[in-house]
Amino acid sequence: MQLQETEFERLCEKKSILVANGSFPGPTLWAHQGDTLVVTVVNNGNYGVTIHWHGARQMGNPWHDGPEYVTQCPIQPKQNFTQTVLLDKEEGTLWWHAHSDWSRASVHGALIIYPKPGNEHPYKHDAEQTIILGEWYEKNLTEMVINAMRTGGDVNTSVAYTINGQPGDFYQCSKESTFRMVVDPGKTYLLRITSAIMNEEMFFGIANHTLTLVGMDGAYLEQVNTSYIMIAPGQTMDVLVTTDQEPSRYYMLGSPFVDTQAPTDRTTPSAILHYNGGYQLLHILIYTLPAGQIRIC
C-alpha cells in the first residue's frame, strides 16, 4: 500500500491530498473469513501516519492494529511497515483507514470479508457494490489539526460530502463526475456501505427503492426493511436493494443528521442508480431524506 500526495480536482479547484495507491477513496481489499492479510504500508507522504483495520478483532496481535501512539509509532515519511491482519469471525464489510489526526478523511478504503470457501452468503444477491460516504476538505488536513491545537479552536468543517469520492450533481463543477451504479432490472444488489465521514451521522436512501439491512460492522443481522438508513462515523452496513422499479435513473442521496440550530448543511451528496435498457428519461427521480430533530432547550 503506497501512501502519497496526489492531485485531484473537486469543486472547480485542484488540490493535493494524501491517499493510498493514488485513489480517493483508496483500494478495496478482499479476503475470506479466517484469512491472514499481510500488508506493507509505504509512506511517501509528508507526515507520519498509521493504518488501522477497523472492526478486525486482531486477537493477540494488537501491535499491528494501527492506532497512533497506542499500539505503534507513526510510519515516518520515506519509511515502511509491514502489518499482519488476523481475521477471525468477522464476515461482511469492514474498512481500513489512517489513524493519525485527520488523515483518515482521505486515506481509507473498504475491507470485504467473504464466507470461507465452500460457504455461501446467507442473503442471496446477484452482484455487489461498495459505497463509501466521505468528505472533501478545502484545507490541508494535517495543518488544520495543528492550527486548531495552536489556537484552541475547532477543526475546519468539510466543504462537501461525497459518495465514492464524488460530491455529485448538486455541487458546482461536479455533475460530470457523479458516481453512477449501472444495474439490470429485476436483480438484487448488495450495497456494502461505509461511512468515512469524520464526525456526523448520515442518512442514506435511494429514490423509490426499499433498502433491506442484512449486516453491520462485519456481522450479519436479521433483515430489516426500511426506506433509508442512518449510519454513524466509522460504521459499515450491508444493504440489499432490488431493482424492481420502472427502468429509469434514481438518485442515491446522503443527508447529515442535525440536532442543533447551528448551520451544518454542506449541500446534498448524490450518486445515480442507473437502470440498463432503452427508455426515455424525463428527469432523474429524487428522494427527500430526514434531517434529524432539532431540540431547543
Cα–Cα dist 268/54, whole Å: 27
Work out the number of other CB atoms within 10 angstroms of the CB of residue 137: 20
Mean pLDDT of the chain: 92
For residue range 95-142, list pLDDT tens digits in order.
Answer: 999 998 889 999 999 999 999 999 999 999 999 999 999 999 998 888
> Which domains does the chain carry?
2-120 (2.60.40.420), 130-275 (2.60.40.420)
In whole angstroms, what separates CA 239 from the centre of its chain?
Answer: 14
Segment 142-151 shows an average pLDDT of 86
Q: Is 36 exposed, middle or buried (0-12, 13-18, 19+ CB in 10 A)?
A: exposed
For residue range 258-281, list pLDDT tens digits in order.
Answer: 766 655 556 799 999 999 987 777
In whole angstroms, what separates CA 46 from the centre of its chain?
Answer: 24
In whole angstroms, what separates CA 240 from the centre of its chain?
Answer: 17
